[in-house]
Amino acid sequence: MHQGERVVRAQRMQQVRSDILLGWTSLGGADYLVRQLNDHKASIEDEDLKGQGLVEYATTCGEVLAKGHARSGDPAVLAGYLGASDRCDKALAEFSVSYADQTTKDYELFKKAIRSGRIKTGKAYL
């Protein structure tokens, strides 16, 4: 399969509305993704990513990512693959708890590095 086409198909599955210029082409035997470079939409300023603004931004990113992944699979195929067992449910729950624990540990190390001066940043992360 054309590598540009592969990426475009995946993006179209995950995005509610894709870039109207999203496509693919080949030049000199190489596969390329084609897309609009700048849609002139607003961007987020660094100042907006402090305190509660960072929490809201992270929450929104997580929701958008989750919805994109939810649209990317065929429910009937997934249900057939997983079957009636609760093994997948238990594995996902176990992974989620482990991931949350690791994230907490990483954040504590991050804050420690800030306090020690190894990382320079604003107080919003503490």
Name the pTM for this structure: 0.46
Locate tokens 């996902």: which residue? 92
**Residues 110 and 125 sit within 8 Å (Cβ to Cβ):** yes
- DSSP track, 22-56: -EEEEETTEEEEE--S--------GGGGSTHHHHH
Mean pLDDT, the chain, integer: 86
Looking at residue 112, its pLDDT comes to 94
**Residues 43 and 57 sit within 8 Å (Cβ to Cβ):** no
pLDDT digits (tens, 9 = 90+) for 51-110: 899 999 999 888 888 888 777 778 888 889 889 999 999 999 999 999 999 999 999 999
| 89 DSSP 8-state letter | H
